[in-house]
A = this chain, B = another copy of it.
């Protein structure tokens, strides 16, 4: 609960500061860092995406700022109440909770969720607390199993007694308490079907690891879970994704942070994460050439873009992967390994790669 008080305190500070300004006869102003690509850079020391020093002012008595100022205050007020009640709201809930016509006008406080979302991200910067700690959450997704025992809302949950389904990862993992973690590493995969394969083969038990999946995008809940397992237990994190530009970017976001959430890198990025596969070398070694899929034009454009990102552009190993994607005009899915047999992935591919430390960083 200490953490909650902290984010609540920050909100009170914000409110007190504004009241002070008003009492001094000043028009209220909020100072906050600029949250835009122009203020995002790749920090070579921490090896994460970080926000720069450019500051902005949100001025109540400025026609261009007044609405956003109000929205920020409303979102802060919703957060304060949520913390007080000990409840969480989804981003969509928050949108509906602040949506109304400003009294005496025909202007809606918010017309679109993107407006409240943006204010929530600003509030992360202002309070220096993640939106999860402000009790605002995005959609949940993903499953986990492994030899781990957690305490979650008073329930003791054993991740090694989860049958075929697994523990369903909540949208916020901040309040989960780890009671026992008996694992050598964490394997994160972008596909639920691959996770089901690994779980059915009890890969996590045989290889003393934790397996985590999403379906497609890595939610913030999953990213924070990965980060906590690394920060608190020093578990290496390995990423298993398709050999395509989207797989590379999934890895990149987990490792370096994302442009949109550069201000959250400290709480989300894991610079030590390693990319396990699929790689071009896997395709050669395991004879998967016949199982390549032709790229689309949009894939090619995206390769050009991602390959030029600061954190990729001097990375020879990744540039080679991007080059080979372009040269072969192809991508390869994790499940292409099934061509070699349904349990090839669990019995040969993964153990061999991990034993030989065949990672890309």
The chain A residues found within 8 Å of chain B, CB to CB, are 81-82, 85, 87-90, 92-93, 95-97, 99-101, 137, 139-143, 150-157, 161-172, 175-176, 192-197, 200-201, 215, 290-291, 333, 335-339, 342-343
Contacts and interface: CB of A to CB of B under 8 A. Distances in A.
Given A85-B342, A165-B169, A168-B165, A93 B193 contact: yes
A161 B165 contact: no
Contact of A164 (B95, B156, B170, B338): B170
B168 A101 contact: no
Contacts of A168: 142-143, 162, 165-169
A333 B161 CA distance: 36
Given A97-B342, A137-B193, 16 more contacts: A81-B342, A87-B343, A89-B197, A90-B335, A93-B193, A93-B197, A97-B339, A139-B193, A152-B163, A154-B163, A157-B163, A164-B172, A164-B175, A165-B168, A166-B168, A168-B168
B152 A176 contact: no
A140 B192 contact: yes
Contact of A165 (B89, B93, B167, B338): B167
A215 B139 contact: yes
A167 B162 contact: yes
Contacts of A90: 193-194, 196-197, 335
Copies in the complex: 2
B163 A101 contact: no
23 contacts: A88-B196, A88-B197, A88-B200, A89-B338, A90-B197, A92-B333, A99-B290, A99-B291, A137-B196, A139-B215, A140-B143, A140-B196, A140-B215, A141-B192, A141-B215, A150-B163, A157-B162, A162-B168, A163-B176, A164-B175, A165-B168, A168-B169, A170-B196
B165 A152 contact: yes
Contacts of A338: 89, 92-93, 96-97
Contacts of A100: 290, 339
Contacts of A290: 99-101
A163 B153 CA distance: 5
A161 B156 contact: yes
Contacts of A333: 92, 96
A105 to B, nearest CB: 14
Contacts of A156: 161
Nearest to A92: B335
Contacts of A87: 200-201, 342-343
A161 to B, nearest CB: 4
B153 A171 contact: no
Contacts of A140: 143, 165, 192-193, 195-196, 215
Contacts of A96: 291, 333, 335-339
Contacts of A167: 162, 165-168
A85 B156 CA distance: 34
A140 B164 CA distance: 10
Contacts of A201: 87
A193 B170 CA distance: 10
Among A143, A150, A175, max chain B CB count under 10 A is at A143
